[in-house]
Chain A
Amino acid sequence: MTAVQQQPSLPPLGAVYRTRAGVELKEFFRQRESVVFSLALPVILLVVFGAVLDYDIGLGIPFTQYFLPGILAAGILGVSLQNMAISIATERSDGTLKHLAGTPMPRSAYFVGKVVQVLATTVAILVILLLVGRVFYGVGLPSGTDWLTFAWVALLGAAACTLLGIAVSSLARTGRSASAMITPIALVLQFISGVFFQFSQIPTWMQTVASVFPLKWMAQGFRSVYLPDALAADEPAGSWELGRVAIVLGLWCVAGLVLCVLTFRWQDRGTD
């Protein structure tokens, strides 16, 4: 009984992906709040904390050299987890997502656009922080195989936090409430995960809490790049535990992906 109409063709996938990537980059870089919040804040923190907390953490290493890997991890957390949670919650509550769901845009294109946005902003924040660390505080760039470690920690951390951010976006009703929910959590994680303070100085129970979440492992992975191996003795396990860093971040990727698939909604709750 169904009269099948002549179905129109669809544009090539690659073209739509390019469109969405462009849309997401413009949406991010034109919004002052997101640029200040995600890109400028970590730089300000690096400059201010670097200037204030300029003490020797042992072996003649200044705190800045400990702080830089931490703020790199926090910077990635900001452009991935915080940015995704807030921007997607906003787009869900203001009708952007519902509008897109009513078009023939392949749904994968939306996520491709978000991934491109996170990759671009991750590269941006890392480059800026590396340069500021180098120029203002003389923290050298990684060398040799350290670049490899740097790259996989950044990539795996960004992936885990992006997926987690997309999943968390479904918990909030609006972008504002997403911000109110995720900002304090991120701040607390930064305090207990070895970003602003040395992880070894944090109470054990807080270390245990921090060990559940990705930030602690990202910061630890980056420290292995910036600190001499002798300082690995200060870590809870007495080593950099790069294998465990990879496993925990990988598990968060899997958990985040499952949560995304289970919870992602294209419209507000209760409007289907």
Chain B
Amino acid sequence: MSSPTAVPTASAAPRPDLPLDPEAAISVRGLVRRYGSSTAVDGLDLDIHRGEIFALLGPNGAGKTTTVEICEGFRRRDAGEVRVLGQDPATGGRRWKAQLGIVLQSGAGDSQLTCRELVRSQASYYSDPRDPDEVLELVGLTEKAGVRGRALSGGQRRRLDVALGIVGRPTLLFLDEPTTGFDPEARRQFWSLIRSLRDLGTTMLLTTHYLDEAEALADRVGVIARGRLVEVAVPSALGGRGSAPAVVSWTEDGVRRTHDTHAPTALVAELAARFGGEVPDLAVARPTLEDVYLRMIGQPTPEERTA
């Protein structure tokens, strides 16, 4: 594995001097939030463009939910500037909220109402909602439409949360760990739902623990560690993945050989010539998202130590 990336990409470097981006769906500068003596968010900068799916990755306690809930208007901030759809969330009114869809980590609560009744009542808070039955169809709860909220399984309940989040036809959808408790099939279905929402132009801020989810869905990924954004990139380039040396491995004389190279094709051609055909156990790999992610959250970069 290559050495830790010392230099964050330009888009993640703190830029408190840079003005808020008025065109962005979400624009955050120098965000700080302290709880007692601990600092949960420590000078975070972030821009989320309209129409994109942005995934916020980070370990528990890194400041993901605090950041998201400040953007949603649930939590106050100690310092920094935040604009969500052009509005400071601390003073956002009902018309501002009408443009948001919020799927909280804690869910939407217990209810004696059926799924259909819950989605319908949620729809009545908006002037131009989606059709509740279509929304239930979209999240795959049509067969559970007449079942009470509290009788659903964990994964079904999460899908109901998503249904409640999208029925108001939001411009911007917040999804805080939406697939926790999903089985693999439900997650795949959820992913296609998210993609179809993106095709309709919905901007999404997604927090997740699942790296494959971020890789499958996100246009850009931000990694948050110790209250700061340590990198923002497209998933394939995160942590210099795109330019990292490839690892070519094969078996020769019964011994496993590996070689890091920026020119794997040349090496493979050379091996092919040497073996005169198939190279035993040949594999060419790039660092996975998990590799670079674990490296990024594992230890502070030199910049952070001196910050």
- A binding-site residues for B, Cβ under 8 Å: 1-5, 7-11, 15-16, 19-20, 22-23, 26-27, 30-31, 90-91, 94-99, 101-106, 267, 271-272
Q: Are A3 and B109 in contact (CB under 8 A)?
A: no
Q: Are B102 and A102 in contact (CB under 8 A)?
A: yes
B 6-34 contacts with A by CB, 8 A: 19-20, 22-23
Separation of A16 and B99 alpha carbons in the complex (Å): 17
A97 neighbours in B (Cβ, 8 Å): 109
Smallest Cβ distance from A22 to chain B, in angstroms? 7
Q: Are B74 and A272 in contact (CB under 8 A)?
A: yes
A-contact 0/1 string along B90-105, CB 8 Å cutoff: 0000111111101010
A95 neighbours in B (Cβ, 8 Å): 104, 106-109
- Knowing A1-B22, A19-B121, A272-B74, the reply to whether A8 touches B127 (Cβ < 8 A) is yes
Smallest Cβ distance from B80 to chain A, in angstroms? 15
- B binding-site residues for A, Cβ under 8 Å: 19-20, 22-23, 72-76, 83, 85-88, 94-100, 102, 104, 106-113, 117, 121-122, 124-128, 148, 164, 168, 171
Q: Are B74 and A267 in contact (CB under 8 A)?
A: yes
For the residues of A in contact with B, the DSSP-based class is loop
Considering residues A4, A27, A95, which has the most beta carbons from chain B within 10 angstroms of its beta carbon?
A95
A8 neighbours in B (Cβ, 8 Å): 95, 98-99, 126-128
- Knowing A22-B121, A95-B104, A104-B125, the reply to whether A10 touches B94 (Cβ < 8 A) is yes
Q: Are A96 and B108 in contact (CB under 8 A)?
A: yes
Separation of A4 and B72 alpha carbons in the complex (Å): 17
- Knowing A10-B127, A27-B112, the reply to whether A5 touches B98 (Cβ < 8 A) is no
Q: Are B97 and A96 in contact (CB under 8 A)?
A: no
**Number of residue pairs across A and B with beta carbons under 8 Å?**
113
B106 neighbours in A (Cβ, 8 Å): 95, 98
Q: Are B109 and A11 in contact (CB under 8 A)?
A: no
Q: Are A16 and B72 in contact (CB under 8 A)?
A: no
Q: Are B164 and A23 in contact (CB under 8 A)?
A: no
Separation of A10 and B93 alpha carbons in the complex (Å): 11
Q: Are B86 and A2 in contact (CB under 8 A)?
A: yes
Given contacts A8-B99, A11-B127, 17 further A-B contacts (CB under 8 A): A1-B20, A2-B83, A2-B88, A3-B86, A8-B95, A23-B121, A26-B112, A30-B113, A30-B148, A90-B110, A95-B108, A99-B108, A102-B97, A103-B168, A104-B95, A104-B97, A105-B125
Q: Are A1 and B19 in contact (CB under 8 A)?
A: yes
Partner of A16, one of B100, B113, B124: B124
Q: Are A102 and B100 in contact (CB under 8 A)?
A: yes
- Knowing A1-B19, A1-B22, A99-B104, the reply to whether A10 touches B95 (Cβ < 8 A) is yes
Smallest Cβ distance from A111 to chain B, in angstroms? 15
What are 15 sample pairs from A and B whose C-beta atoms fall under 8 A apart? A3-B22, A4-B86, A7-B96, A7-B98, A8-B126, A8-B128, A10-B126, A16-B124, A22-B121, A91-B109, A95-B109, A99-B107, A99-B108, A103-B168, A104-B125
Considering residues A4, A26, A102, A267, which has the most beta carbons from chain B within 10 angstroms of its beta carbon?
A102
B86 neighbours in A (Cβ, 8 Å): 2-5
Separation of A11 and B168 alpha carbons in the complex (Å): 12
A96 neighbours in B (Cβ, 8 Å): 108-111
Partner of B127, one of A9, A26, A31, A267: A9
8 closest A-B pairs by beta carbon, nearest first, are: A96-B109, A30-B112, A3-B22, A95-B106, A104-B98, A102-B102, A99-B108, A7-B95
Q: Are B104 and A98 in contact (CB under 8 A)?
A: yes
Smallest Cβ distance from A267 to chain B, in angstroms? 7
Separation of A10 and B19 alpha carbons in the complex (Å): 32
